[in-house]
């Protein structure tokens, strides 16, 4: 039977194929250094952006206020300090956006020191962040101190991530982790003057120490992450329960939880925190202008409405749900291919996923920044099985190539 000869390839096609083959071979040979360099460049660009293009958010005002309460015990003086400090540290347009929303919440707080002061219990509980700002403000402007914390957090987060990948011989996957960071809103977290990114960095360090079996470092870093944002007690509780249930020896994580559990009640009392339900009401139901003595009766209907609203917003407006599903898909795919997480890592993976769900259930708020600490560690845990899968595929290709006999017809 006559067959048509394949059309001859033009020079441009041959050049493109040669270039792609060379590029693929080069990346396969130098995947680790190229991956590390690309990731490091992304981290440096993010740190630079955090310094030169910071996000002026309203939470800057109460965070700066709690950092200098000892200096300004009077509510009006503290209010004036916070607002004047932000005014001198941001652009005129940003300051107007923070203080004038046409007679709404921000406009009210600009003119009412007592109501502004009543909100501080919800911020004062983040004790460690306030202390860091207070210390740095002695040598630089408070707004610059906030930016410096963000830049430091970005660089340290990137360094821990690279160290984790290096220890797992998975630097070739660094660009993938960088892509996940972009999807998870790492750039937004870097630009925001809040304790969220530093919390994520400390937690990442604690989880890396846990994976490496460094128990003392695990306990210290997990406790510091809690002190930065006490809502991490939810994850630590889930983690501790799973460790006990599966009889995994990890005294560092259990000690970190125990210390955080005790400190939670002490800090909440000292900070005059309004309590779980009033805080949830303010954040997810209705912004109450004065939190002093505000004790709304618990309502199942109000809670379910807040839960449903936050869930819809989380799915449609934020990225944390999608990133979490992607991590679960990666875990499932690796498992189906026969490359599973080892026991210690598997317990942590489950704790991160269940911890995010528990945090949302306890305090339904949709913002990705709240769940960011849970988003990146699962992908770092999956780096080990995926590198093993990659190696197996490469070995399979080599075996297939050796089995081809010259002169055989397909």
Our CA angle for 393, 399, 402, nearest 5°, is 145
Q: How far is CA 261 from the centre of its chain?
A: 22
Of 331, 39, 346, the closest CA to residue 164 belongs to: 39
- CA 382 – CA 397 distance, rounded (Å): 23
Q: Taking Cα atoms as reference points, which of 279, 309, 307, 284 lies closest to residue 294?
A: 279
- pLDDT recorded at residue 405: 44
pLDDT at 19: 66
Outline where 100-250 has alpha helix (H). Answer: 105-111, 113-118, 121-124, 127-136, 142-167, 174-183, 186-191, 196-211, 215-228, 233-245
pLDDT at 402: 46
- Write out residues in the chain with pLDDT < 50, as ranges: 398, 401-402, 404-410
* Residue whose entry in the numeric block shows the structure tokens 């990890």: 250
Tokens of 342: 């080892």
Residue where the block lists tokens 């990948």: 165
Phi-psi region of 356 (alpha: psi -120 to 50; beta: other; left: phi over 0): alpha
CA–CA distance, 23 with 352 (Å, rounded to integer) = 37
Give pLDDT, residue 241. Answer: 97
Structural tokens at position 241: 């329960």
Q: What pLDDT was estimated at residue 390?
A: 79
DSSP label of 273: -
In terms of Cα–Cα distance, which of 179, 245, 178, 170 is closest to 211?
Answer: 170
Which residue, 228, 196, 202, 232, is CA-closest to 57? Answer: 196
Upper half-sphere CA count for residue 335 (Cβ side, 13 Å): 10
d(CA 207, CA 408): 53
Query: Which pLDDT score, from 0 to 100, does residue 401 have?
Result: 46
* Look-up of token digits 């050049």: 15
Q: Determine the pLDDT at residue 31.
A: 85
Orientation angle between helical segments 60-67 and 75-89, nearest 10 degrees: 120
Residue 396 has a pLDDT of 64
Q: Which long-range contacts (CB under 8 A, 24 or more apart) does 86-89 make?
A: 86/56, 86/60, 86/61, 86/143, 88/141, 88/143, 89/141, 89/142, 89/143, 89/144
Tokens for 353, please give them. 């996923």
């Amino acid at each position: 039977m006559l067959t048509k000869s394949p059309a001859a390839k033009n020079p441009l096609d041959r050049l493109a194929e040669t270039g792609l083959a060379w590029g693929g071979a080069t990346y396969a040979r130098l995947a680790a250094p190229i991956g590390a360099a690309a990731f490091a460049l992304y981290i440096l660009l993010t740190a630079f952006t955090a310094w030169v293009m910071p996000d002026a958010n309203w939470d800057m005002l109460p965070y700066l206020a709690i950092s200098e309460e000892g200096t300004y015990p009077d509510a009006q003086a503290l209010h004036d300090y916070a607002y004047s400090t932000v005014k001198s540290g941001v652009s005129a347009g940003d300051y107007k956006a923070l203080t004038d929303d046409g007679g709404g919440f921000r406009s009210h707080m600009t003119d009412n020191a007592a109501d502004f002061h009543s909100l501080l219990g919800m911020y004062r509980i983040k004790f460690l962040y306030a202390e860091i700002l207070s210390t740095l403000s002695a040598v630089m402007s408070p707004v610059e101190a906030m930016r410096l914390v963000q830049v430091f957090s970005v660089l340290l987060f990137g360094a821990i991530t690279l160290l984790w990948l290096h220890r797992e011989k998975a630097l070739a996957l660094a660009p993938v982790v960088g892509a996940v960071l972009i999807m998870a809103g790492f750039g937004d977290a870097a630009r925001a003057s809040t304790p969220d990114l530093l919390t994520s960095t400390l937690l990442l360090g604690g989880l890396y120490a846990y994976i490496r079996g460094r128990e003392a470092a695990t306990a210290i870093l997990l406790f510091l992450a809690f002190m930065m944002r006490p809502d991490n007690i939810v994850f630590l509780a889930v983690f501790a329960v799973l460790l006990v249930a599966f009889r995994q020896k990890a005294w560092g994580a259990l000690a970190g939880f125990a210390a955080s559990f005790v400190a939670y009640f002490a800090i909440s009392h000292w900070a005059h925190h309004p309590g779980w339900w009033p805080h949830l009401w303010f954040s997810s139901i209705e912004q109450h202008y004065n939190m002093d003595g505000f004790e709304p009766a618990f309502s199942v209907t109000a809670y379910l409405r807040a839960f449903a609203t936050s869930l819809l917003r989380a799915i449609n407006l934020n990225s944390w749900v999608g990133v979490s599903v992607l991590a679960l898909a990666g875990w499932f795919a690796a498992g189906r291919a026969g490359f599973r997480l080892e026991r210690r890592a598997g317990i942590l993976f489950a704790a991160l996923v269940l911890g995010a769900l528990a945090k949302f259930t306890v305090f339904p708020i949709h913002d990705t920044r709240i769940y960011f600490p849970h988003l990146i560690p699962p992908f770092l845990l999956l780096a080990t099985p995926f590198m093993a899968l990659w190696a197996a595929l490469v070995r399979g290709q080599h075996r297939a190539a050796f089995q081809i006999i010259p002169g055989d017809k397909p």
